[in-house]
Amino acid sequence: MAYSDYESVIGLEIHAQFLTDTKIFSSSSAKFGGGDNEHVDAVCMGMPGTLPVLNKKAIEFAIKTGLALNCEVKKKSVFSRKNYFYPDLPKGYQISQYDQPVCEKGFLDVTINGQKKRIGITRAHLEEDAGKSTHHGDYSLVNYNRSSVPLLEIVSEPDMRSPQEAAEYARAVRSILRYLGVCDGNLEEGSMRCDCNVSVRKKGEKKFGTRTELKNINSFRFIEKAIQYEIERQIDVIESGQEIVQETRLYDSTKNKTFSMRSKEEAHDYRYFPDPDLLPLIISDKEIDLAKSSLPELPQQRAQRFQTQYGLPEYDSEILTVEKEMADYFESVVKECGNAKSASNWIMTELLRELNNSKKEIADSPVSAKMLAELVQLIDKNTVSGKMAKAVFMEMFKSGKTASEIVKSQGMSQITDENEIGKIVDQVIQANPTQTTEYRSGKDKLFGFFVGQAMKASKGQANPELLNKVLKEKLKG
């Protein structure tokens, strides 16, 4: 049997750390980093006799995220205790919503190879993060800075059918979280974590296969690679006559392999029960309406608008709107130069490539929106040729200088003076008497040769239309 006889089934559990100032149930800082155990207090360290107080901002963020993910925001939800022992969990239980989460039944549409696909979202629930243990030979240390940082766990339906779909979905969730400003979506620092549930089944089969859960994946590229590896591993296991064990596996990106971490615990092992220290969370219509009216324009709406307002293709508008900063940048360029098509082309090709090569974010681009707008204007005014403009752009990116500075200092401006172009054309005709005679006796094909020669003689600076016109006239003889 071949891999292609199987179909993969994928569901994601995404943990998003909220960018609230303080913890979900107490007042110490929820910021990333800080010295060891600097962002702590008695509640998040599980001291006896302390009581949790729910963070209002975290609720507001959960409502907004739920709405953006097309979820039903529940009027009543409940915090439970998920009991387990681990040193990074000082209370001996994690407070997490369980059977009554704050958001349910949402969906997200993603585009895969130009096709829309709807991914169901089962639920999104609030919970607290755990601290962090580090192991050093014969001793371990525990840092509680992360303890009780608010998390929203977004659980998808098992609706994805390829590693690419899973990565696209995760990107779309990240994009929304960042537009909302509720999470910075940093996979590397772990402020967004993505657990991938993967199973395979023979094509045509209705029943799902046994799944494994992949953890420890800290980039979108690795999400795709880890799932791809896992799909093939599972098929190999099945094809060799063995069964898939339901378990949690860790992905090792340097080896591009997944390894068994632990067999999957049954839910009842956690002995969930409603936390008696917290009242049910009641959300009013007014709060939901308020959140609705404060929602920003979201990536998909913005992409839609880019198509209608600027006439951009769907593909371009989707790329330009993934990051809010990128979309803002594009709109600033258009505002300055008035040429959306050109702005989009420059960003999509040259700028994205150079940002990528230098591992920079748009916010750190050496070419600001204003600078790119100026370059577009110089091209539109024929001051620089399209070809020259690429060299000018590279220099702008390298030096941070403006387009006009570079054009001036390097004498790169386009030659639009007819007399000057005439002189160049005269030289070329003089230097190529044989071709000139042949052309004049009807060998029209040679025109391209003359364009090439004259362009070269002008060091690429001649205005192409003008050059064509002058050449035609002068070659007539």
Give residues in contact with ligand ADP (CB under 6 A).
Answer: 9-13, 155-158, 197-199, 208, 211, 267
Shortest distance, position 33 Cβ to ligand ADP, whole Å: 29
Instruction: Round to whole Å and give the CA distance between 285 and 302.
Output: 27
Give 29's DSSP letter: B
Residue 186 C-beta: closest distance to ligand ADP, Å: 22
Q: What angle do CA 117, 120, 125 make, to 5 degrees?
A: 145
Q: How far is Cα 228 from Cα 6, in angstroms, rounded to an integer?
A: 13
In angstroms, give the least distance from the CB of 79 to ligand ADP. 17
Q: Which is nearer to ligand ADP, 8 or 458 (CB)?
A: 8
For the CB of residue 274, give the shortest distance to ligand ADP in the complex, in Å.
Answer: 18
Nearer to ligand ADP, 86 or 208 (CB): 208
Of 342, 348, 375, the closest CA to residue 362 belongs to 348
Q: How far apart are CA 449 and CA 103, in angstroms?
A: 68
Minimum CB distance to ligand ADP smaller for 57 or for 215 = 215
3-state secondary structure of 32: coil
Nearer to ligand ADP, 5 or 418 (CB): 5
- Compare residues 173 and 326 and give the one whose CB is closer to ligand ADP: 173
Using an 8 Å Cβ cutoff, are 158 and 120 in contact?
no
Q: Toward ligand ADP, which CB reaches closer, 194 or 470?
A: 194
| Cα angle 177-22-283, degrees, rounded to a multiple of 5 | 65
Nearer to ligand ADP, 119 or 340 (CB): 119
Closest distance of CB 288 from ligand ADP, Å: 25
Q: Which 3 state secondary structure label does DSSP give 78?
A: coil
Closer Cβ to ligand ADP, 244 or 352, answer by number:
244
CB neighbours of residue 377 within 10 Å: 17
User: What's the min distance (Å) between Cβ of 270 and ligand ADP?
Assistant: 10
Q: How far is the CB of 200 from ligand ADP (least distance, A)?
A: 8
Q: What are phi and psi of 273, to 5 degrees?
A: -155, 155
Determine contact, residues 36/141, Cβ cutoff 8 Å: yes
Measured from each CB, the residue nearest to ligand ADP is: 11
Three-class secondary structure assignment of 377-403? HHHHCCCCCHHHHHHHHHHHHHHCCCH
Q: For ligand ADP, which is the closer residue by CB, 101 or 131? A: 101
CB of residue 8 to ligand ADP, shortest distance in Å: 8
Output the smallest distance, CB 329 to ligand ADP, in A. 34
**DSSP notation for 401-454:** --HHHHHHHTT---B--HHHHHHHHHHHHHH-HHHHHHHHTT-GGGHHHHHHHH
Instruction: Compute the distance between CA of residue 36 and CA of residue 42 in angstroms, rounded to an integer.
Output: 15
The nearest distance, CB 208 to ligand ADP, in angstroms, is 3
Strand 79-83 to strand 192-202: parallel, antiparallel, or no bridges (unpaired)?
Answer: unpaired
By beta-carbon proximity to ligand ADP, the closer residue of 126 and 421 is 126
389-to-266, 347, 378 alpha-carbon distances in Å: 62, 13, 9
Q: How far apart are alpha carbons 112 and 7 in whole angstroms? A: 17
C-alpha separations of 112 from 122, 130, 194 in Å: 21, 35, 20
